[in-house]
Structure 1
Amino acid sequence: MTTQFYDRLSNDLTQLLESSINCDVSIEVSEEEVPLVNIYKVHSIILQSRSSYFKKKFDEITFNENHDKVLKLPNISVKVFNVIIKYIYSGKISLEKLENSVIFDLLIASNELELDELVQHLESNLVNNNASWLRLNFAQVYRISYQVKNFKIIRDFCNNIITKYPNTIFESENFHSLPEDALISILKQDDLQLEENKIWEYVIEWGKAKNPTLPTNLNEWTSANFVTLKETLKGCLPHIRYFSFSNEDVVEKIYPYQQLLEQQLFLDITIKLITPNKPISSIVLSPRKILNTILPTRITPISLSSNIITNEHALEISSWIDKKEIPYIENNPYEFELLVRGSRDGFDIKTIYNICDKVSKTIIILKVKGTGEILGGYNPLEWENSNDQDIETNESFVFSLKTANMKDSILSTSDGGFVYSYPSKLELSFGYALRLIGNLKTEKRCCCMKSGEYRKPIRSSEFTSPLSSIPSVKSLFSVEEYEVFKILPRK
C-alpha cells in the first residue's frame, strides 16, 4: 500500500513560492488599465514540469544584462495570474469567491499557458455550476469557444442550446462577428430548430455585414457585388437545404440572389419548383428535423438582483412554483422583484414583516453562515404585520439549492402544510421545516426540524433536529445574507 502526503507537499511548495528562495526566473504581468507591472519570482524547473508552454518559453528566452530571464505576460490579468501561479505550485484552486467573468478569463489564460488539467476543470465548472452566466453572455462565449479549439465542453454546451433556441445566436447583437467556422457548424446541424427560409435570410445578412460597402438597395447591385458576397459565403452556401423551401419562398427569397448559386443548382431548384417529380443532378440535403412541439423563442434573461442566487436557481424555483416535472432551462415566466435584503434593510425578522405586510407570493432566500448552504421557502399567501396566525396551504414549499458544495437541490413540498406568521414573537416559519427567529445575523436561533407537514428535510441529518425535542445546538444557525423576492408574472 502506498501512502500519499499530497497536502504536505502542496503546502511546502506553496511556501517555496512565497519565500522566493532560489528563484531563477521573473514573470512580468501587466494590465492595460493598470500601468503598474507585477513581478513574480518563480522556479523555472517547477513551471516547466507543469506546463509545456513555460518549458518552450524559458528555452527561448535569453539572459538579460542582470543575468536574469524575464518572461512577459501582457494578456493575463494580475487577478487571474495569482490564481494560476498558486495552482501551479500547490495543485489547488478555489473558485467560490471569483466572479464568473474572472473564471472565464482564467479559462482563457489557462489554455494559453497549456494547463490542460485546469482547462477541463474550469470548463466543467462553468457548464455545471454557472450555466446561467454562460447563457447571459452567450454570443461572446460561443465566439471564443470556436476561436479556442480546446474548449470542447463549452462548445458542445453552446451547440446544444443553439439547436434548440437558434435565436440565441441569430438574434444576438454579436451575430455579425461570429466566425465563419462557427456559423458553418450551426448550418450543418440537422436538428436546428429554424425554418430554412429564415436560415437563408440570416446567412445573407451575415455575409452582407462582412461587406459593408455593398449597396443597401438590391436593385443597385452589380454582378461584381454578387461575386463579392458569393466569395464570402462560399463555405456556408453548400449547407443550405434549398429543396426544403416552399415554392413561395423560392421565388421571394432565393430568386433575388440567384447569382450566388452555381448554375446547375439554380436550374435544379427551378425544375423542382415547376415539375417536382423530375430527376435532378444536384445533391439534395435532407430536411431539418424540426420538432412537432415548437420550442419557444429564447427571451433574453432579465438581470436578477440577487447576491445569493443565480438565474439558474431562479429558473429552478419558478419550475417548483409551477409544479413542472421538467424544469425550465430558458424563458423564466416570472420576475423576481427584490423587496428586502439583510445587508441593505436589516436582519431583524420584524423588518420582513414591516416591508412585506399584505404581500403575497414571496420567496425567502438565506445563505447560512459557516456552511454556505442556500435555504429558502415560498409563501403563496400574504404576510401579516399585525396578527399572529397559522396559515394552511398546500402551495408552499421549502428548499435548499445546489451550490459548489452540494450536488443537487432539495425541494420539500407540503400537503396542507402551515406557514407560521408570528410577528409578535419575531418568528417566521414554514411548519418546523424552516424556522427563522429574531435577528438572523446576530442571533443563532434559526433551525430546521423534521416536520410531518413538509415531505423531506432540506438539510443533512446532522443539521436537522427531531420534531419531538428542543433544537440541537448543531442545528441552530445564523445567516450571512438573506433576500425576499416578490414573484411576478413576466411582462
Structure 2
Amino acid sequence: MTTKFFDRLSNDLTRLLENPTDYNVAIEIGEAPNNQIFKVHSYILQSRSPYFEKKFNETPFNDDHIKVLTMPNPNISIKIFNVIIKYIYGGIISLEKLENSTIFDLVIASNELELDELVKHLQTYLVNNGAPWLRLKFAQICRTSYQIKNLEIIRDFYNDIIAKHPNTIFESENFLSLPEGALISILKQDDLQLEEGKIWEYVIKWGKAKNSTLPTNFDKWTSDNFLTLKETLKGCLPHIRYFSFSNEDVVEKIFPYHQILETNLFLDINSKIMTPNKQISSIILPPRNILNTKLPIRNTPISLPSNIITNEHALEISSWIDKKETLYVENNPYEFQLLVRRSRDGFDVETIYNICDKVANTVIILKVKGTGEILGGYNLLEWDNNNNQFKSTQDSLTFSLKTTNLKNSISSRVKNVGCAIYNYPSKPDFSFSSSLCLVGNLKTEKKCYCMVTSSYSKPIRSDEFISPEVYPLSNIFHKFSFSVEECEVFKILPRNDLK
C-alpha cells in the first residue's frame, strides 16, 4: 500500500516560498519603482517548468551566487506571477475571487512558462464558469485562441459557437485576417451550419485577401495567379465537402476556380454530376450536419456597447419588454443605446438622474460586487430629476440574468402598478418598488438591496441574498445589501434596419 502525503508536502513547499531559505534565483517582475523581486529556488522551478529550466541553463550566477532573471513579457504582472509561483511551489490555485480577464491573462502567462497542467485547468475553468464573459469578448479572445498554441479548450468552445452561428466569424471584420490554422479548424467542423457553396466562397475570399497582387478583374487571371491561390489554400482545400455542392453551385462556384483543384478531383466532381452512381477515386467527406436545410436569413446583428451583458442577454431582455412567451433567438428588434456607464461617468445614482432626466424607455444593468450577479430593470417611464414620487406603469420589470452561478435568467413583472417605479432624486434613490433598489454611491456605500415584495411577481435573487420585508429600511441587515462593480443604462430604441 502506498500512502501519499500531498497536503503536508504542499504546505512545506509553500512555507519555503514565503521564507526563501538558501534561495539562488531572483526574478524581477515589473518596472521600478513598482517592481517586485521574487526570491526562489532553481531546483523547484526548473523541475516544474521547462521554460525556467532553459532560462536557468542560459543564465550565469552573479558574484553573490544568485541567478537574476527579468521576465521579458510585460503582460506577466506581479499579481499574475504571484498566483503562478504559488502554484509552482504548492500546487494550489484559487480562482473564485479573480476576474475572468485576470484568469485569461493567467492562461497566457502559464502557457508562456510551459505549465501545461495549469494551462489546461485554467481553460476548463473559464469554459465552465466564464462562458458569458468568453462570449462577450468573442472577437478578442477567439482570435487570441487561434494565434497561440495549446489553447485547444477555449478554441473548441469558440468553434462550437461558430459552427452554430457561422456569421459571427465569416461576416466579421476580422475574417480576412484569420490565421490559416483557425480557418482550417473551422472547416473541419462537421456541424458547421453553412451550405458548402457558401463556405467555398468564403475560403476563396480569404485566399484572395492573402495575395494583394492578384488581379481584381477575374477575366485577367493567368495560370500563375491560380497557382498562387492554390498554394495559399493548400491547407484548406482538403476540408471542403466537394460532393455536397448542388449542381448549380458546382457550375457557378467551382468551375471558375477549377485550376486550383487537383485534376483527378475536378474530374470526379464532374463525374458525380453526370453519373452519380459511378465509382470514383477521390475521398468523399461526409456532408455537414445541417440542422435546417435552408438556413434562416440573419439580419445585421446589433452592436451591443456593454461591458456586462451579451447579445444573448439583450435578446432575453427584448423578449421580456415585448412580453413574448418564446424568447427571441436572433434579429433583436431593439437597439441598446448606451447612456451611462458607471466606470466612465461615476457611481452616484445622482449621476444617472442628471444624464437620464426626461429620458424614457430605459434598461439599467448592474453587476453585483463579490457575487458576479447581473441584475437589472426596465423602466418605460421618464426619469425625473426634479420630483420625488411613485410612478405607475404596468410595463416595468426587474430581472437577473443567467451567469455561471445562475442556471436560468429570472424575469419579474410588476403586479402593483401604482408602486412600479420609485423616483426619488433628492435621496438619491431609484427603485423598482422594493424588487431592486439603487441608493447613493453604488460602489462605495453598499446600500443597494432587493427585498421580498408583493409589488413584483417574484424575487430576482436567491433566498440567501434577498432581504425580508423590513421597515424602516435602515433595519435591512448588512448581509442583504450590496455594492456594484459596474452599472450601465441603455435607451431602448426600435431598429429600422430589419427586413
Q: 1:390-435, CA deviations, whole angstroms, 9 ceiling, x for partnerless residues?
A: 4141x4322334567x444652423634313343874533233223
- Do the aligned partners of residues 242 and 78 (structure 1) sit closer, same or farther apart at CA in structure 2, a change above 3 Å counting? closer
* Residue equivalent to 1:457: 459
* In structure 2, C-alpha distance between the alignment counterparts of 1:71 and 1:194, rounded to whole Å: 50
**Change in CA separation of 1:289 and 1:446 when aligned onto 2, cut-off 3 Å:** closer
- Is the aligned partner of 1:132 residue 2:139? no
Q: Do 1:353 and 1:423's aligned partners in 2 also have CA atoms closer than 8 Å?
A: no
Work out whether residues 357 and 382 of structure 2, in 8 Å CA contact, stay in contact via their aligned partners in 1.
yes
Structure 2: how far apart are the matches of 1:231 and 1:258?
14
Q: 2:61 maps to what in 1? A: 64
For residue 155 of structure 1, report the CA deviation from its aligned partner.
1.7
Equivalent in the alignment of 1:170: 170
Query: What SS class does the counterpart of residue 169 from structure 1 fall into?
Result: helix
- Report the AA paired with residue 68 of structure 1: I
In the aligned structure 2, how far is the partner of 1:98 from the partner of 1:466?
30
State the shift of 1:304 in Å. 2.0
Shift in alpha-carbon separation, 1:326–1:141, aligned structure 2, 3 A: farther
Distance 1:65 1:88, change over 3 A: closer
| Alignment match, 1:25 | 25
Paired letter, 1:449? M
CA 468–488 in structure 1, closer or farther in 2 if over 3 Å, else same: same
Structure 1 residues 12-53: Cα deviation after superposition (integer angstroms, max 9, x where no partner): 86675455542112335579xx9998753212244245x242
Change (3 A) 1:136 1:16: same
1:298, 1:153 → 2: CA distance?
A: 30
Return the letter of the residue paired with 2:490: F
Summarize the alignment of residues 338-353 of structure 1 with structure 2, pairs less than 5 Å apart. Answer: 338-341=338-341, 352-353=352-353
1:98/1:255 CA distance change after superposition, 3 Å: same
Instruction: Report the equivalent of 2:434.
Output: 432
Q: Which residue of 2 aligns with 1:294?
A: 295
On the 8 A contact 1:168/1:298 being kept in 2, the answer is no
> What's the CA shift for 1:165?
2.3
Q: Check if 1:416 corresponds to 2:419.
A: no
Matches within 5 A, 1:147-162: 147-148=148-149, 150-162=150-162
How far, CA to CA, are the matches of 1:436 and 1:36 in structure 2? 37
Residue 474 of structure 1 is matched in structure 2 by 477
Q: Give the TM-score of the pair, scaled to structure 2.
A: 0.77
Q: Tell me which residue corresponds to 1:187.
A: 187
How far apart in 2 are the matches of 1:156 and 1:168? 15
Q: Distance in 2 between matches of 1:204 and 1:336?
A: 35
- The AA in structure 2 aligned to 1:44 is S
Residue 423 and residue 262 in structure 1: after superposition, are their counterparts in 2 closer, same or farther (change >3 A)? closer
Amino acid at match of 1:92: I
Q: Please say if 1:143 is aligned against 2:146.
A: yes
- How far does the alpha carbon of each residue in 1:316-340 deviate from its partner, in whole angstroms, 9 at most, with x for none? 5445435567766776554333334
Q: Distance in 2 between matches of 1:364 and 1:379?
A: 8
Q: Which moved more, 1:311-320 or 1:185-194?
A: 311-320
Question: SS at the partner of 1:381?
Answer: coil
CA deviation profile, 1:192-220 (whole Å, cap 9, x unmatched): 22222222222223333444444444444
Q: 1:47-446 alignment to 2 at 5 Å? A: 47-48=45-46, 51-53=48-50, 56-57=53-54, 60-61=57-58, 63-66=60-63, 67-71=65-69, 73-75=71-73, 77-79=75-77, 80-89=80-89, 91-94=92-95, 100=101, 103-127=103-127, 128-129=129-130, 130-137=133-140, 140-144=143-147, 147-148=148-149, 150-273=150-273, 275-277=274-276, 279-283=278-282, 284-292=284-292, 294-295=295-296, 297=298, 302=303, 304-306=305-307, 313-314=313-314, 316-322=316-322, 333-341=333-341, 352-353=352-353, 355-368=355-368, 373-384=373-384, 385-386=386-387, 388-393=389-394, 395-401=395-401, 406-408=405-407, 410-414=409-413, 416-418=415-417, 419-423=420-424, 426=427, 427-437=429-439, 446=448
Q: Is the 8 A contact 1:23 1:42 kept in 2?
A: yes
Distance in 1 separating the partners of 2:336 and 2:467: 31
Would you say the 8 A contact 2:193–2:291 is kept in 1? Answer: yes
Partner residue of 1:486 out of 454, 468, 491: 491
Distance apart, 1:228 and its partner CA: 3.8
Q: Deviations over 1:312-370 (max 9, x none)?
A: 65455445435567766776554333334556666665654554344332222345567
Aligned-residue offset at 1:110 = 0.8
Secondary structure, aligned partner of 2:455: coil
- CA distance 1:82–1:462, change in 2 (3 Å): closer
Q: Distance in 1 between matches of 2:62 and 2:446?
A: 62
Contact preservation (8 Å) 2:391, 2:422: yes
In structure 1, list runs of 5 or more residues that go unmatched.
none
Q: Distance in 1 between matches of 2:445 and 2:61?
A: 61
Aligned in 2, Cα 1:429/1:105: closer, same or farther, shift over 3 Å? closer
**In 1, Cα distance between equivalents of 2:303 and 2:8:** 43
In structure 2, C-alpha distance between the alignment counterparts of 1:356 and 1:139, rounded to whole Å:
35
CA contact (8 A) 1:191 1:290 kept: yes
- For structure 2, the residue ranges without an aligned partner over 5 or more in a row are none
CA gap of 1:379–1:204, structure 2 versus 1, over 3 A, is same
**In structure 1, distance between residues paired with 2:35 and 2:423:** 58
TM-score by length of 1: 0.78
Partner of 1:42 in structure 2? 40
SS of 2:392's equivalent in the other structure is strand
Q: Deviations over 1:440-472 (max 9, x none)?
A: 567665432212233332334344333376554
